[in-house]
Chain A
Amino acid sequence: MEPILKLESIHTFIGQFHILEGVSIEVPRDSITVLLGRNGAGKTTTLKSILGLTPPREGKVIFDGLEVQGKRAYDVANFGIGYVPEHRAVFRNLSVMENLRIAEKKRGDFERKADFIFGLFPDLKRLYKLPGNHLSGGQQQMLAVARALVAENKLLLIDEPSEGLAPILIEQMMAAIKELSKTTTILLVEQNFIMASQLAETFYIIDDGKTVENGKMADLVKNDDLIKRYLGVNIGKVGGAE
């Protein structure tokens, strides 16, 4: 089957800086793909380039058979992409309910999805009326993910969902993402290699703004050398044997 998202050698500049120097990715449908790489390698910029928040200057972004590079971000989002930014970017001065309602792309989206969302994140139902800035870090992260689920999206871009979360919350988040992957395609950026390796089927490694390696996650876990070279983590951690 044709991949839902295809990046063909995109180049993105932020101001004077050449951040992405040829990123090529194919995201297969109905699975989780993870982008790995060191801090500052260009993972977040890749997600933003897909949406057109930082429009690529060269290359093609093909979403669901449609060339979307150069189009306005809100148009791209309306084609069916949900975005969960890093740093838990929920709207702090909006209530939990408003944070969810604002993501409606069609009238009644929220009513249709409410049961599903509160099934995944039961905490949010309890916090329904609180403003976003009264939530804890973990609750904000849940809300940020939930917000991307309100509209009928074909692809979710999730940026570092585990960042700064307590271990128990990471497990909860992983379970939620696994549950989500049954119905949507997910492109994940994740520093936490343990989490990434347990969730994703496919991986891409970005280094210095270029995609350098890709393949099946199962193969990467065995490839000690590759992990050390590009990710700087010790393979010993993967099995949980610290």
Chain B
Amino acid sequence: MIKKGLFKQSLPVIIVMGVLLVFSILGYRFMGEESFVRTALSGLTLGALYFMVAAGLTIIFGLMDVLNFAHGAMFMVGAYMGWQFYTNPTFLFGLLPLVLAFAVGLSSTSIWMPIVINWNLSESWKKRINAALIVSSLILVVLGFVKLDVLGLAETAMVAAMNAGNPLAEATAQEPLSVFWFRPLLLFVSGLLLAISSARPGDKTQVVSSSKKWVPWLRLAIMALLALFATLFREAAPILVLQMDANLRFVLALIVGAGVGAGLGMIVEVSLIRPLYSRPFYIVLLTLGIGYVLRETVQLLWDPVAYAMERPPLFSQPGKAENIIAWFSGNNLTIDILGVTFPSYRLFIIALGVFMLIALFVIMRFSRLGMIIRAGVQDREMVEALGINVKRVFSIVFGIGVGLAALGGIGAAPFVPVQPNMGDAYQMQGFITVVIGGMGSYGGAAIGALLLGMARAFGDFLALKFTLSPAIAEASTVVVMIIVLLVKPSGIFGKKE
């Protein structure tokens, strides 16, 4: 009985692999070895990118039933962050003190809680005070960022974009110190107001955590120290980063891009999506809106043109490596694979995709978090009844999902133009991947991404061969989706409802 179950589970994979194999043999026979290998490798590269977008989409949907239409924009934000960190981190380090100042204010929530929940407030006053706190906090943020220095900020970002490898601290260093310190102060106060609001004044029903009194103060002190360091080293840090080994810098850029993405995802989940879980349709509109806001913000800070990120030296030494082992010593731009000259960076993308698949598998299979996620996909209420804070798990999962997309973004940046709408096409393919693989299944996302990547690459090849418009090739992924859905309407790994 058990063996039969296992066979039934892996049957879709076997069928998909079989179909791919048949097409491969046909392709190999009729395309000739050279163009077949080239096309298949491009397909793998595309598949890896689709997987990075689709993996986040599918775990977010699986646990929370949220379709994140801002996923492509978050992919794009990851690319911008990583690209800026790699070429010229001046802007990022200029922004960091402001963000940290806000976070310091916000981290005071648990200090306020024991005080404000005992205020005697009527229902209407609770609402009024909450609204007043949130609105004034927002006004201060806008003041801190915009009124005082939007042009300076945008200028720093743009100047940083144009002067790769040359940190320009003058833009901020020249303003009077009083103005300079005033901005983080505004953001700190703004965070403070939001903290009071999220401590929910007058709401006596909440549990004040019984941990020791000094713990929140310690947290606050650590955050404040971090913010202070970020402020003091905002000019030295970019120089330091630019002086380090470029390959190491690239690895750090990957981490920064993914980290900013994860942070962004968590903030968006906690502040905007959480109040709307009971209204799924609103969430769709909300995430669409977030996508527009992110794209426009990026256009405001950087010119709306396409930037090219240079490849790290590890993948850009001139010449061609005879094989992968030769590449390890030569770090060449291209590698000879089965007689095909292929860019080494694209192989890195494939490796990154495979690494993410394995990492995701290990987390989902063997960690407690993965266990909770798998359980929560089936029965959220029961997970909560076991004493697990499901809402916190939601935020973490949203953070991981968006972090994966952002990592994909910075990974793609060296061979895709960095521009505000760079993520849109990948979001579209990501959604198709998720539908093909079965909503909520990351294994399905991997298979779906492989299928779609291949379909797209071979579609491109056919369009070129028969001199058709490239637009036809874009339809190839949709054709695959239609075929899969006709055979299995719930997707390859989808569960019957």
Binding site for B on A (CB under 8 A): 51, 53, 69-75, 77-78, 83, 85, 89, 91-94, 98, 101-103, 105, 130, 134, 147, 151
Contacts and interface: CB of A to CB of B under 8 A. Distances in A.
A73 B207 CA distance: 11
Interface string B384-426: 1111111000000000000000000000000000000000000
A70 B207 contact: no
Given A91-B378, A134-B1, A134-B2, A85 B387 contact: no
A44 to B, nearest CB: 12
A91 B207 contact: no
A69 to B, nearest CB: 8
Contacts of A73: 381, 384-385
B205 A91 contact: no
B359 interface: no
Contact of A98 (B1, B371, B381, B383): B371
A70 B207 CA distance: 10
A78 to B, nearest CB: 4
B387 A74 contact: yes
B176 interface: no
A89 B379 contact: yes
A102 B385 contact: no
Given A71-B206, A130-B2, A83 B385 contact: yes
A69 B207 CA distance: 11
A56 to B, nearest CB: 12
Given A53-B381, A71-B207, A85-B382, A91 B374 contact: yes
Given A91-B374, A91-B379, A147-B386, 5 more contacts: A53-B381, A91-B375, A91-B378, A93-B374, A105-B387
Contacts of B372: 102
A53 B384 contact: yes
B205 A70 contact: yes
B5 interface: yes
A130 B1 CA distance: 12
Interface centre among B205, B378, B382, B383 (most CB of A within 10 A): B382
Contacts of A85: 381-382, 385
B382 A89 contact: yes
Interface centre among B374, B382, B387 (most CB of A within 10 A): B387
Main secondary structure on B side of the interface with A: helix
A74 B384 contact: yes
A94 B385 contact: no
A70 B389 CA distance: 15
25 contacts: A71-B205, A73-B385, A74-B384, A74-B388, A74-B390, A77-B386, A83-B386, A85-B381, A89-B379, A89-B382, A91-B374, A91-B378, A91-B379, A92-B378, A93-B374, A93-B378, A94-B371, A101-B371, A102-B368, A102-B372, A102-B386, A134-B1, A134-B2, A134-B5, A147-B386
A53 B371 CA distance: 21
Interface string B122-136: 000000000000000
Nearest to A98: B371
Contacts of A130: 2
A78 B389 CA distance: 10
A101 B205 CA distance: 30
A88 to B, nearest CB: 11
Contacts of B374: 91, 93-94
A102 B393 CA distance: 13
Contacts of A74: 384-390
Nearest to B383: A102
Contacts of B206: 71
A94 B368 CA distance: 12
A78 B387 contact: yes
A92 B207 CA distance: 32
